Amino acid sequence: MAVVEQVAAPRAEVSDAKKRMASRPKVWSGLAETGEITRMLGSVVGSAVRHPRGYWGDVRENMFLTLKLCWIPMMASCIGFGFGAPGLQAGNIYILFGIPERLGSFFVMASVREFAPWINAMVVAGVMGTAITADLGARRIREEIDAMEVLGIDPIRTLILPRVVAITLMTGLMDLVALVFGIIGGYMAALLVGSSSAGFTASFFDNATIYDLLGSVIKTTLFGLIIGVVCCYKGFYAKGGPAGVGRAVNQAVVISFAAIWSLDFVFTTILLGVFPQIQVYR
């Protein structure tokens, strides 16, 4: 009887500990996960800086795969969004003021600063980010990552580093293409609402600055870094079988979207504060 009581006591303590963990606010688990994602980011950056060779072949393959999977939906989304939301809606407002030719100036703010980077990041997260999470999650539940660790192979450098570098670089580079498609959509809307081609073009280039372009590319590159790290983290630590991989994919997309929106707010606020002259429309 004494032995049974001694065995039951530790089990009761473990059960009480699990109950206490479950009763903690979810904010604590969210903060802990944020810290783990940040630690993974530090590991990736540290590995890339200390040993900058040996992974660029995998980076090129992942960059090509990102471009192959993302450029068509990104093109369609940027043209459609540029034509519909900022194009037609803003065009109707500009018509009320009798200045439809000034619609090009609006697209410096709408497409270059905000919509094109945002849509580009959404497409990359929804297409390539989910693919990365599913791939790493499948490797985890098949115990391939565990086998690599037993063999002394660093899975962070082998699996995560090339994917993070590739998605970071390609998201920033594809922003340039997204800007073009977004402006094409706005140009089509401008012609539809009665603006002239020369008026739209002149108004756009009169207000566009190098700060807008650099800010857009830098911001989108940071979006890619967030997507890469978050999706790799959720896939790398997936658990619970195939259903767990599905949950990891869903969580990776949601977290990436929330982090992108938060960074967009902070980055744009800083950009407009440091360069207030870009807020003046000519």
Q: Using CB atoms within 10 A of its CB, is residue 1 exposed (0-12), middle (13-18) or buried (19+)?
A: exposed
Q: What is the per-residue pLDDT for 24?
A: 54
Q: What is the per-residue pLDDT for 11?
A: 43
Half-sphere exposure of 14 (CA within 13 A, CB side): 5
Q: What is the per-residue pLDDT for 25?
A: 59
Q: CA 88 to CA 94: how far, in whole Å?
A: 10
pLDDT digits (tens, 9 = 90+) for 12-68: 443 443 444 445 556 677 788 889 999 999 999 999 999 888 889 999 999 999 999
207-232 CB burial, b ≥16 within 10 A, e <16: bbeeebbebbbebbbbbbbbbbbbbb
Q: What is the per-residue pLDDT for 38?
A: 92
Dig out the tokens for 178 from the structure: 């997204």
Q: What is the per-residue pLDDT for 172?
A: 94
Decide if 223 contacts 114 (C-beta within 8 A): no
Q: What is the per-residue pLDDT for 128?
A: 94
Q: What is the per-residue pLDDT for 18?
A: 42
Q: What is the per-residue pLDDT for 8?
A: 41
The overall pTM is greater than 0.75: yes
Q: CA 156 to CA 153: how far, in whole Å?
A: 9
Decide if 207 contacts 105 (C-beta within 8 A): yes
Q: What is the per-residue pLDDT for 26?
A: 64
pLDDT digits (tens, 9 = 90+) for 197-218: 888 999 999 889 999 999 999 9
Q: What is the per-residue pLDDT for 53?
A: 86
Residues 6 or more apart in contact with residue 76 via CB below 8 angstroms:
none
8-45 CB burial, b ≥16 within 10 A, e <16: eeeeeeeeeeeeeeeeeeeeeeeeebeeebeebbebbe
The series of mean pLDDT values per 10 residues for the chain, 282 residues long, is 41 43 61 90 92 89 92 92 86 85 87 91 94 94 91 92 95 94 92 88 90 94 96 93 92 94 94 88 73
